[in-house]
Structure 1
């Protein structure tokens, strides 16, 4: 079973992104994440949908 919540590091690795850009996306408006303190938790099953809805936008 895939994890429902992933870290920014796991997100960057899964999507072949650099860490800086992964954090930039994670902090973008509407990105499917929840902050617990300073930690960013990404809702893995919502990422593809968010990316598709933001095709062509710059971050």
Structure 2
């Protein structure tokens, strides 16, 4: 499987898959799936797929900086 590498926000696709989100955030794939299934996280289910809108991910990150 090809490992995604993103150099900037503009490189991200409009809708990210969970593995793409993991690469963008620098977290494990398992951690990304756990995050995507957590309450309040901006993930969408489309059939069996989970996708995350790029803009919603950026907003979520900004809102959760410094929170535990």
| TM-score, normalised via structure 1 length | 0.79
- How much has 1:53 moved relative to structure 2? 2.2
Counterpart of 1:44 in structure 2 is: 54
Matched, 1:16 2:26: yes
Matched, 1:34 2:50: no
What secondary structure sits across from 1:35 in the alignment? strand
Structure 2 gap ranges (5+): 1-9
Structure of higher CA gyration radius: 2
Indicate the RMSD between aligned Cα atoms, in angstroms. Answer: 1.6
Larger RCO, structure (CA 8 Å, separation 6 or more) = 1
Please give the alpha-carbon distance, in whole angstroms, between the structure 2 residues aligned to 1:42 and 1:7: 6
| TM-score, normalised via structure 2 length | 0.70
Q: Single out whichever of 47-56 and 2-11 deviates more from structure 2.
A: 47-56
Please give the alpha-carbon distance, in whole angstroms, between the structure 2 residues aligned to 1:21 and 1:3: 20
